[in-house]
Amino acid sequence: MGYVCLSDCLADLESHGHLRRVDEEIDPHLELAAIQRRLFRAGAPAVLFTRVRGTPFPMLANLFGTRERLRFIFRDGIRAVEGLFKAKADPALLLRRPWRAAALAPGLVHMLPRRVSGAPVLACRCALADLPRLTCWPKDGGPFMTLPLVYTENPRQTGMMASNLGMYRVQMTGNDYAADEVGLHYQIHRGIGVHHSVALGMGNALPVHIFVGGPPSLTVAAVMPLPEGISELCFAGLLGGRRTALAGARHSSLPVLAEADFCVSGHLLPRLKPEGPFGDHLGYYSLQHDFPVLKVEAVHHRRGAVWPFTVVGRPPQEDSVIGDFIHEITVPLVPQAFAGVREVHAVDVAGVHPLLLALGSERYTPYEAARQPRELLTAAMHLLGVTQTALAKYVLLAACEDAPELSVRDVPAFLRHMLERVDFSRDLHFLTRSSSDTLDYTGCGLHEGSKLIWASAGEKKRNLAAEIMAAPNLPEGFAGLRVVMPGVLAVRGPTHALPRNAQDSALTALARMFASWSRRESFPLVVVADDPDFCADNLENFLWVTFTRSDPATDSYGADGRFQAKHWLCNAPLILDARRKSFHAPPLEEDPAVTRGVEALAAPGGALHGYY
């Protein structure tokens, strides 16, 4: 059976060597986050910090820091999840092997939340100021909850089956918040938005519970890309191997997660206040913007409560492990969720949403002499229409018929396959002024940017080169041409100083130069960067720089670029402007003094020697 509560999980981890304790006092302002980043990089165990400055509560780091630990934590429920997803993807499987239906039955029972009369989470009360206050990056607007479980229900259809359990960051102090207020930042395309919209339409404040801690399956459920109408509480019970316990609360119309460690209760007010900045998972700060405010009316916690936290930043981080875990268990559902799609990969090191790779079928016109994108375009529209894939900025699709062995998880091989086959007069399709990831500052404005569907199919068209050989004569202001990988070049461009939504005449001149270069077909992709050496140093740098610093519509140029019936096309090479723009958010950097301190803690004799 799964864990009843977080304390059960920690006891189990500690008995198996997956948890260590640190009893030296640690500062939650920058120091604790810097330690967590190092624990993750080192593949360290989970760590319980028993003395945290400014709070009576211990804080838990790196709980989901390794794939092995995730598998260990969910060993009681993972088979049930995998079995159910395989059956959902192929219902005929149960007809062919009916004994599997019996094996699924216990897991299905665990999906049904249960009502309990007592709630350990309501055992004690405290002030909002007593809670741990984690500040992760130097320019953060204040301390944040980084693993909050935000529970709401549809005001017109109350009850668990109309609920949403999501993970939306919570700013605890700073800016203009009163002592009994917190900022609730929920991004575009999130379930809580539907509930909040209904409440505002009724002229009411939306009741909200923010839980922290509890069975670890709740955390994974809160970030699962479940279809609207599917309860996260049901999935948490399935994954955790134990039914989710709900209890009534006198202070709220909403039920509480009985076995959570903390519960912050209140109402979303019908007004906004500035929230942020916050060092986010793209590797940059999300800047200060107006977001909803939660009026806090009660703070409860269980006896012996533990405050789990995570730290995000340029990937990979701990949330990358959770993302890979979710991808692994949802693989069987991809063809069912997206017709004509075999495999998808939201590339973590590129910030997840900026770059989505997909393998699909190309079966619409088998009678044509040469295969070209037809069905792939339908699949791309589907990917951009539902679930979290709708936030993708660059969507690259290949036809599985062209290379049956190709996998989207092998990013270099996938990119090479695309570059060998791309026809830039046909394969690029832009969606302008579309909805975009709230955290992405490359587009037209907050929540708004462009998308690029790049779908290529058919026979190989060119051979890619790994050496420049006859280098082109670059225009003034450009230098430092580097090979990133076969077929891809990086070049330094002049410092960007233009306003948002403006194309750069210097890049147009660069495209004209490449149009006459004899080797241009050997390098069909050119990236303009501030530091081409950094960009070309490794694949992770290239992906991060290219796709987090460019907007498809504004930053795409190409040899002989032109419009034909409103369709933009070009010849090779395609040029992407991945310079840092004047309106971009700043990248994340640690405080040097804090860095020295946490490195000293890991030195011989330090409290964290041997941890990282």
Regarding pTM above 0.85, the answer is yes
Residues with Cβ < 8 Å from 91, sequence gap 6 or more?
none
542-573 residue pLDDT tens: 999 999 999 999 999 999 999 999 999 999 99
- 89 falls in which pLDDT band (50, 70, 90)? low
Rounded to whole angstroms, the Cα distance separating 533 from 480 reads 8
- 482 falls in which pLDDT band (50, 70, 90)? very high
Domain match, 272 and 356 both: no
Mean pLDDT of 125-150: 98
Assess if residue 493 is contained within a domain.
no
Domain match, 30 and 140 both: yes
- 88 falls in which pLDDT band (50, 70, 90)? low
**What pLDDT is recorded for position 105?**
61
Mean pLDDT of 489-498: 97
CB environment 521-550: b (16+ within 10 A), e (fewer): bbbbbbbbbbbbeebbeeebbbbbbbbbbb
Q: Which of 308, 332, 359 is the last residue of a domain?
A: 308
- In the chain, helix, strand, coil percent, each to 5? 30, 25, 45
Record the tokens describing residue 506, joined without a space: 């210097």
**What pLDDT is recorded for position 158?**
79
Angle at 225 between CA 221 and CA 229, to 5 degrees: 85
200 to 194, 195, 465: CA distances (angstroms)? 10, 9, 57
520-534 residue pLDDT tens: 999 999 999 999 999
Domain match, 265 and 381 both: no
CB 58 within 8 A of CB 50: yes
Q: Write down the mean pLDDT value for the chain.
A: 93
Angle at 334 between CA 329 and CA 338, to 5 degrees: 155
Domain match, 300 and 326 both: no
Assess if residue 527 is contained within a domain.
no
272-302 residue pLDDT tens: 999 999 999 999 999 999 999 999 999 999 9
Mean pLDDT of 571-590: 97
Pseudo-torsion of CA 496, 544, 376, 230, nearest 10°?
Answer: -120
Assess if residue 135 is contained within a domain.
yes
**What pLDDT is recorded for position 319?**
96
Q: Is the pLDDT reported for residue 123 higher than 90?
A: yes
Assess if residue 21 is contained within a domain.
yes
CB 311 within 8 A of CB 37: yes
Q: Is the pLDDT reported for residue 185 higher than 90?
A: yes
3 state DSSP class of 511: helix
Q: Is the pLDDT reported for residue 126 higher than 70?
A: yes
Residues with Cβ < 8 Å from 189, sequence gap 6 or more?
388, 390, 391, 435
CB environment 367-386: b (16+ within 10 A), e (fewer): eeeebbbebbbbbbebbbee
**What pLDDT is recorded for position 191?**
81
**How many Cα atoms within 13 Å fall on the side-chain side of residue 510?**
29
238-265 residue pLDDT tens: 999 999 999 999 999 999 999 999 999 9
Q: Which of 425, 456, 487 is the last residue of a domain?
A: 456
Rounded to whole angstroms, the Cα distance separating 427 from 570 reads 10
DSSP type of residue 128: G
Q: Is the pLDDT reported for residue 484 higher than 70?
A: yes
**What pLDDT is recorded for position 161?**
78
Mean pLDDT of 463-489: 96
What is the rounded end-to-end Cα distance, in angstroms, of the chain?
33
- 336 falls in which pLDDT band (50, 70, 90)? confident
Residues linked to residue 267 through DSSP beta bridges, in sequence order = 207, 295
- Range of the structural domain that residue 157 is part of: 6-73+111-308
Q: Total domain count for the chain?
A: 2
Q: Is the pLDDT reported for residue 92 higher than 70?
A: no
Q: Which of 456, 488, 516 is the last residue of a domain?
A: 456
Q: Is the pLDDT reported for residue 1 higher than 80?
A: no
Domain match, 333 and 293 both: no
Q: Is the pLDDT reported for residue 342 higher than 60?
A: yes
Domain match, 292 and 349 both: no
Rounded to whole angstroms, the Cα distance separating 612 from 609 reads 7
360-369 residue pLDDT tens: 999 988 888 8
DSSP type of residue 446: T
Q: Is the pLDDT reported for residue 228 higher than 70?
A: no
3 state DSSP class of 256: strand
The helix or strand, by DSSP H or E, that contains position 396, with its residue range, turns out to be: strand 394-399
3 state DSSP class of 438: coil
Q: What CATH code is carried by the domain that includes residue 201?
A: 2.30.110.10
**What pLDDT is recorded for position 96?**
57
Domain match, 273 and 418 both: no
Helix axes 232-240, 78-89, angle to 10 degrees: 120
Mean pLDDT of 388-416: 96
Residues linked to residue 434 through DSSP beta bridges, in sequence order = 449
**What pLDDT is recorded for position 339?**
87
Assess if residue 434 is contained within a domain.
yes
Record the tokens describing residue 454, joined without a space: 């790049």
Assess if residue 147 is contained within a domain.
yes
Strands 170-171 and 394-399: unpaired
Mean pLDDT of 456-461: 96
Q: What CATH code is carried by the domain that includes residue 443?
A: 3.40.1670.10
**Which segment, 31-40, 158-167, 184-193, 434-443, is predicted with the most confidence on average?**
31-40
Domain match, 379 and 405 both: yes
53-78 residue pLDDT tens: 999 999 999 999 999 999 999 998 99
Mean pLDDT of 412-437: 96
Mean pLDDT of 91-116: 68
Domain match, 298 and 354 both: no
Record the tokens describing residue 58, joined without a space: 């211990």
Domain match, 399 and 452 both: yes
**What pLDDT is recorded for position 510?**
97
Domain match, 64 and 147 both: yes
Domain match, 400 and 269 both: no
Assess if residue 589 is contained within a domain.
no
Order of all β-strands in the sheet with 448-456: 341-346, 355-360, 394-399, 448-456, 428-435
Assess if residue 280 is contained within a domain.
yes
